[in-house]
């Protein structure tokens, strides 16, 4: 466990804890009178964003986008990391499994200035920066969507594109779900006089991220539908060609089938004009079918 403790301004302490064990968290809970159920929640790596207020202590769980996420992440835990916050008017405790760059930057800034209006200001900055981690991945998803849109509109269709679109949709859907759940902690930031602008910035940032990922989801859904439409069109063209061929050859096969019967007394079999006559008949039938198709505008 790594523990950093500092006075961020007069009368307010910030304890930043990285990768604590269960025993170490139990010790912290005894020292600062933290609820045992909230302590268990903060140690669950897959826990979703939430807000609680127990024994005069506010408890928030946030999730932020993992900069080192693996390709094709399909779960919330693969895509994001968790940070838990316990705070009162004069105490802030942040708990996370690994070093979090934006938390470190905020902590260092307050360590230098020693100026803040209260823990609400610090909480608002942490939430704003947690939301900001979703910005660059959203732009990256937009670039992918634009690339596949060009490919599909040029009708360079392959099954790999549908797989790629699925993973884009999955990542955007997970991120959007997390952002929706982040609404609860944001709604429970109650600013003091003078802190309204920074809290409004958090709400604006949250709305921006939700809008971005909502747009990605809409775009990728439209692309998947377009992909399926073009695939259906391609199948329909193939079926159309096969149908045309079958219509041309069906009557010809019928004629050939009749003259292929092994009856001794068939009218045209022994006539000199029998073979050329049948060939002419087949040609006439073919021309008639072609003319009919042209008039119907099927060709």
- What is the CATH code for 2-232? 3.30.460.20
The model's confidence at residue 154, banded by pLDDT at 50, 70 and 90, is confident
Contacts of 58 (CB under 8 A, 6+ apart): 51, 52, 85, 86, 87, 88, 188
Determine if the pTM surpasses 0.85. no
Q: How far is CA 20 from the centre of its chain?
A: 31
Is the pLDDT at 67 greater than 80, yes or no?
no
pLDDT for 136 equals 93
- pLDDT tens digits for 11-54? 888 899 998 888 888 888 888 888 888 888 888 888 899 999 98
204-233 burial code (b ≥16 CB/10 A, e <16): ebbebbbebbeebbebbeebbebbeeeeee
| Tokens 């087949």, residue located | 282
Nearest alpha-carbon partner for 60 in 88, 80, 33:
88
- pLDDT tens digits for 109-126? 887 777 888 888 899 999
- At CA 90, angle to CA 205 and CA 121, rounded to 5? 20
Structural domain spans, the chain:
2-232, 261-295
**CA atoms of 162 and 99, how far apart (whole Å):** 36
3-state SS class at 93: strand
Is the pLDDT at 277 greater than 80, yes or no?
yes
pLDDT for 89 equals 87
User: 299, 244 in Cβ contact below 8 A?
Assistant: yes
pLDDT for 248 equals 84
**CA atoms of 107 and 141, how far apart (whole Å):** 31
pLDDT for 23 equals 85
- pLDDT tens digits for 185-199? 999 988 888 888 999
**CA atoms of 152 and 223, how far apart (whole Å):** 8
Q: What is the DSSP letter of 1?
A: -
3-state SS class at 31: helix
- Looking at every residue in the chain, the average pLDDT score rounds to 87
Mean pLDDT on 159-173: 88
The separation between the first and the last C-alpha atoms of the chain, rounded to the nearest angstrom, is 75
**CA atoms of 127 and 188, how far apart (whole Å):** 12
pLDDT for 124 equals 93
The model's confidence at residue 172, banded by pLDDT at 50, 70 and 90, is very high
Which helix H or strand E contains 79, and what residues bound it? helix 76-79
């Amino acid at each position: 466990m790594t523990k950093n403790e500092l006075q961020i301004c007069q009368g307010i302490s910030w304890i930043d804890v990285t990768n604590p064990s269960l025993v170490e968290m139990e010790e912290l809970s005894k020292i600062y009178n933290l609820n045992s159920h909230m302590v268990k929640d903060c140690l669950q790596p897959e826990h979703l964003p939430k807000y609680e207020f127990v024994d005069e202590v506010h408890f928030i769980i946030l999730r932020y986008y993992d900069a080192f996420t693996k390709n094709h992440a399909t779960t919330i835990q693969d895509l994001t990391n968790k940070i838990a916050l316990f705070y009162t008017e004069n105490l802030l405790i942040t708990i996370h499994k690994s070093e979090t760059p934006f938390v470190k930057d905020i902590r260092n800034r307050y360590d230098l200035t020693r100026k803040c209006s209260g823990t609400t200001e610090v909480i608002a900055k942490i939430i704003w920066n947690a939301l900001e981690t979703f910005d660059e991945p959203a732009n990256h998803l937009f670039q992918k969507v634009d690339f596949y849109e060009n490919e599909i509109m040029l009708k360079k269709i392959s099954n790999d594109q549908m797989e790629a679109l699925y993973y884009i949709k999955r990542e955007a859907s997970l991120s959007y779900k997390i952002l929706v759940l982040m609404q609860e902690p944001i709604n429970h930031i109650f600013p003091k006089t003078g802190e309204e602008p920074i809290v409004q910035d958090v709400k604006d940032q949250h709305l921006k991220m939700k809008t971005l990922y909502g747009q990605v989801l809409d775009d990728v859904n439209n692309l998947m539908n377009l992909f399926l439409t073009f695939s259906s069109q391609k199948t329909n063209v193939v079926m159309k060609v096969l149908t045309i061929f079958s219509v041309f050859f069906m009557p010809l096969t019928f004629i050939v089938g009749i003259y292929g019967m092994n009856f001794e007394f068939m009218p045209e079999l022994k006539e000199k004009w029998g073979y050329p006559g049948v060939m002419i008949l087949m040609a006439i039938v073919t021309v008639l079918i072609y003319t009919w198709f042209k008039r119907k505008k099927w060709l």
